[in-house]
Structure 1
Amino acid sequence: MAQWTLEEAVALQKELRHRVEVRPGPTSPRTVAGLDVAYAEGSDRVAAAVVVLDSTSLLPVRQATAAGLATFPYVPGLFAFRELPTLLEALGKLTVTPDVLVCDGQGLAHPERFGLACHVGLETGLPTIGVAKTLFVGTYDEPGDHRGDWSPLVDDGEVIGRVLRTRAGVKPVFVSVGHLYDLDTATELTLALTPKYRLPETTRAADQLSRLALRAS
């Protein structure tokens, strides 16, 4: 990815967001990949990991990593420009093509409606969703306390995602569409990927692998 100024990066997001397609995604994917990036404290060193899981057993079937130096500053809302080059390098090392990508971050739940999951989806042409740990933009009513309860995430009158309870009595996660997916199916997939913990198994696996790759780099 070329080096962008902050203004150019925002302008690109505004341009590319119109290419995002929201449509029914795979309801029974065979493989689902988690993507995550680890950062070295006090350094621009980063390591990206992609872990492909069998959607039935949730066991890893393939994985790949890449490490390098981030060339874009750490700016909220523009993480894709910092993380995407290394993520794409890791994705390029895979020997299988996952049916769905799950990013540890936002999709349409973004001020420009073009978060990391949207950027990854457009770059790869694969169905992609974002499952984030924290709220970035929008407002919501607290969902019910039971697993599967959710409430709409709304910004400027537009539904941009869902606030989903994956574990009873545990903080919810923030689900949004990245590309070639719809919110109903993204919600169902997120629940299928969280049988035991708050975060999807895809995210947990990619997080662990990216940290190991960073230490080894």
Structure 2
Amino acid sequence: MEVPPFPKPEGLEAAMALQRTLAQRVILSGSLEGKKRLAALDASHKRGKPLVAVALLYHLEKGPLFVAKGLVPEEALFPYVPGFLSFREAPAYLEALKALPEAPEVLLVDGQGIAHPRGLGIASHLGVHLDLPSIGVAKRLLFGRLEGPLPQEAGSAVRLLSPEGRPIGYAYRSRTGVKPLYVSPGHRVGLEEALAFVKRLPTRFRLPEPLRLAHLEAGRALAALD
């Protein structure tokens, strides 16, 4: 697929300014009805090694179709700072996405969408950069608060609110008794539509299956560098 170059800001102030600018371009509406071909994105890194990113092309009816990888040398990585993950990982994701045989209809990203201090987590950043619908599915809460208690039952969801009380995503219990996932729209998808799409995904364990497979592939790719 065609991938435009990714700007690398010099320092956190420039990165913060770019996040605020791009956040204004995020579109929080759109249906994913009929979308079946997605790219699940996950990355892995170990000190002294390149960062490895995986784009797993997945069809909702056919299952996994293709795995592509991207690398960024450690010396070229943006510093690890919470809230600035996209500047560190996105270049490797874009390399992986370029290698896919066909473009996905949706990006499913291990990270935040708009549930981010400046409204531009990595799912939103990639969605805006590529002009593709995107959803963030994070394992940890970065920003916001739950509207209320989250039941233990599988499929339970509670809205995630900004400090001002604006809905920015959901805490979602994918399996009974497991830790929640944090689902937030990235770009070109509505709040409820993002959660509905994640709920449609096959889920054998805590992570939706496309992301779980991408996570495993990223771990294997990193181990192969040893």
TM-score, scaled to structure 2: 0.90
- CA deviation digits over 1:134-182, x for unaligned, max 9? 1111111222222221111011211111111111122111000100111
What secondary structure does 2:179 align onto? coil
1:89 equivalent among 90, 95, 100: 95
Instruction: Using the TM superposition, give the Cα deviation of residue 3 of structure 1 relative to its aligned residue in structure 2, in angstroms.
Output: 4.2
- Are 1:62 and 2:66 matched, yes or no? yes
**Structure 2 residue matching 1:15: 3-state secondary structure:** helix
Determine the structure 2 residue equivalent to 1:167.
175
CA RMSD of aligned residues (A): 1.4
The alpha carbon displacement at 1:189 in A equals 1.4
Work out whether 1:184 is the aligned partner of 2:188.
no
**1:44/1:155 CA distance change after superposition, 3 Å:** farther
In the other structure, the counterpart of 2:4 is none
Q: Answer whether contact 1:3 1:72 (CA < 8 A) is retained.
A: no
Mean Cα deviation higher: 132-141 or 102-111: 132-141
Alignment of 1:1-217 (within 5 A): 1-40=7-46, 42-43=47-48, 45-57=50-62, 59-69=63-73, 70-140=76-146, 141-156=148-163, 157-217=165-225
C-alpha contact 2:8 2:87 (8 A) present in aligned 1: no
Which residue is 2:3 aligned to? none
Deviates more, 1:110-119 or 1:62-71: 62-71
Task: Give the CA deviation at 1:25.
Answer: 2.6
Which secondary structure state, in structure 2, belongs to the residue aligned with residue 189 of structure 1? helix
Residue deviations 1:10-57 (CA, integer Å, cap 9, x gap): 1110111000001123122121210011101x2362001000111124
State the aligned residue count. 215
Shift of 1:63: 1.6
Report % sequence identity: 38
Q: Deviations over 1:32-87 (max 9, x none)?
A: 210011101x2362001000111124x21122001122421000000000001111
Cα distance between partner residues in 2 of 1:82 and 1:103? 14
Deviation at 1:194, TM superposition (A): 4.0
Structure 1 unaligned regions, length at least 5: none
Alignment gaps of 5+ in structure 2? 1-6
TM-score between both structures, scaled by the size of structure 1: 0.94
Aligned in 2, Cα 1:37/1:109: closer, same or farther, shift over 3 Å? same
**Secondary structure in 1 matching 2:145:** coil
